[in-house]
Chains A and B, each alone.
Chain A
């Protein structure tokens, strides 16, 4: 496991195409460049000036902004790999990352897909197949359907059998896309149509199925890595219970609820799931943990997870490097006992959204941005000042990660970093995240998936600096330092109103 030699038995790729955008494309390229691997970016119309395009050694234009014409277009991405001579494709997360047809196409075209084999993605990517596979290994699963279904009548009957509230999930799902909690039968059919349509657009697959909705569980997942030689290990857990719209916004490791015994049992279950499915490359086995410490298999994410950086912070490992190594055919250079967590890491997802308006998306141009820094701070960022955040894609701007000796210090460090993180032009959840991290419930580790509804429903920030804010407004008006964008204003760059206004009052 010593890092002195990065050479394995198999030659490393010389060029990798990153079939993604935003912060994750940049993050993958960073490791590639560290390893001396050239990178190819792909981009759409809306992303002509995106950060990942600027970072790559080469960039290939795919087409219109609509995902189907660009980041979801398998033919165009394969053609880009061929055209540039990329030997491997890293799919990032989202888009084609968990699409078995894409992985299969890569296999046919002799381009290495950096992820599991297509048949494993197919088996595990269909959450219902995953449930069947795992249940056979004695890992507990949540009550629900074993097969996806499109017939509304059958779905309604299944919902009644399972009992409301039920959770509609996309069979191909992830990231909360195509997921709906339905409390009563009246809302069921529109929720199914809407979930299925969202799933169709997010994953090119509209299949849905139902699970019993568990109340107040914790979401705990295990990072796994597996090579082609049958070695599978886990890289500890992540707790991702703080969610809005079933999408994680704060993740941490270790989980506040974890004990060495539970970690041992869940880690073994995660590895068993990976082995049962013939897993290769990096993946994540998700569980729900109930209030009694019982755990249930949820699903396997057959991709690099958004929140992988917290695992990297506490283990000191580079998961993208491991992905590249095992994809090239090299054996894992780590045994389970080599994996040790040090300290505590927290990630906050910074989306373009307005936490005061139900976390509605807030696309727009980044007018000004100041990124936080300091010991133990990492910001995986995909945007920059002047960038127009497109409406077509996921609203994630960046992921802010704080690592410190223990949980309390990591929380304090994160709060400081959030207060230093300035993004003007779009709304972000920064003030909301600050209040969550400062809350008693979070500090106590009372993190359940209903955390936001339970503690922060109807949240507004405490606006205790309104005088200073108004002073800033007035000074900005009067200081005479005018922006190039001030076209409609009465204030010109040349003359300050202090000079032109002889008298007070207007």
Chain B
């Protein structure tokens, strides 16, 4: 069974083969890993990797899981299923083009109004999460088309707080 996993922007391919009830053999670039395991709970696996025991704690939905080993979290995605879920996710990795909060937050101050001219990097809105304020900036030069939220609103990542008509948007500009 072939697995392509994405860990920290890195693709890793494994060939997996079951060995008995509590073991699998993994091969990564020709390197063999013998893994014995016992399922302690739905979030806790005890592994013996090439003879070395280690506890792994795991949570997540089908495609993205977080694994904690020795205190360190690993975020692992199943790359074969990535394409179907890439929408929206990619935007966060690249230079942000949309004015959206990095985490669930509350709008504290709106620094611009519809029709305002903004330059790239101008502060446009301040949000607060767990009492920490974050100032979001204009991703490019342009004109504020709409402010979609009010002070005090609860907002989520992905939600566009302020629409900006980009000067460089060219013909697609409305």
Residue of A nearest to B52 (CB): A468
* Interface assignment of B43: CB less than 8 Å from any CB of chain A: yes
Which one of A352, A395, A424, A489 lies within 8 Å of B43 (CB-CB)? A424
- B42 A481 Cβ-Cβ under 8 A: yes
Which one of B61, B108, B123, B129 lies within 8 Å of A485 (CB-CB)? B61
- B7 A466 Cβ-Cβ under 8 A: yes
Asked whether A465 and B1 contact (CB < 8 A) given A367-B59, A471-B26, the answer is no
Which one of A190, A198, A461, A474 lies within 8 Å of B16 (CB-CB)? A474
* Interface assignment of B2: CB less than 8 Å from any CB of chain A: yes
- A468 B56 Cβ-Cβ under 8 A: yes
* Interface assignment of A505: CB less than 8 Å from any CB of chain B: yes
- How many contacts between A and B, using CB within 8 angstroms? 186
Interface residues of A in 471-506 (CB under 8 A from B): 471-479, 481-483, 485-486, 488-491, 498, 501, 504-506
User: Interface readout for A404-423 with B: 1 if CB under 8 Å, 0 if not?
Assistant: 00000000000000110110
- Give the docked Cα–Cα distance between A352 and B17 (Å): 38
- Give the docked Cα–Cα distance between A20 and B57 (Å): 32
- Give the docked Cα–Cα distance between A77 and B154 (Å): 25
- B72 A465 Cβ-Cβ under 8 A: yes
- B67 A473 Cβ-Cβ under 8 A: yes
* Interface assignment of A164: CB less than 8 Å from any CB of chain B: no
- A391 B67 Cβ-Cβ under 8 A: no
- B154 A391 Cβ-Cβ under 8 A: yes
- B130 A472 Cβ-Cβ under 8 A: no
Which one of A201, A468, A482, A506 lies within 8 Å of B128 (CB-CB)? A201
B interface, over-half SS: strand
* Interface assignment of A153: CB less than 8 Å from any CB of chain B: no
- A424 B66 Cβ-Cβ under 8 A: yes
- Give the docked Cα–Cα distance between A309 and B59 (Å): 32
- B8 A470 Cβ-Cβ under 8 A: no
Asked whether A472 and B106 contact (CB < 8 A) given A361-B132, A424-B43, the answer is no
Asked whether A479 and B103 contact (CB < 8 A) given A202-B131, A427-B73, the answer is no
- A463 B45 Cβ-Cβ under 8 A: no
* Interface assignment of B69: CB less than 8 Å from any CB of chain A: yes
Residue of B nearest to A466 (CB): B7
Interface residues of B in 66-98 (CB under 8 A from A): 66-74, 76, 78, 80
- A470 B14 Cβ-Cβ under 8 A: yes
A–B Cβ pairs within 8 angstroms, 20 of them: A177-B131, A197-B133, A370-B57, A391-B130, A425-B59, A430-B71, A431-B71, A463-B7, A469-B7, A470-B5, A471-B26, A472-B69, A473-B58, A475-B45, A476-B65, A477-B78, A479-B45, A483-B42, A490-B62, A504-B15
Other A-B pairs, 18, CB within 8 Å; known A201-B128, A471-B24: A197-B133, A198-B128, A361-B129, A394-B131, A424-B59, A465-B70, A468-B49, A470-B3, A470-B14, A472-B69, A473-B5, A473-B67, A476-B65, A478-B1, A486-B62, A504-B1, A504-B15, A506-B80
Query: What 3 pairs between A and B have smallest CB-CB spacing?
Result: A489-B62, A472-B56, A361-B130
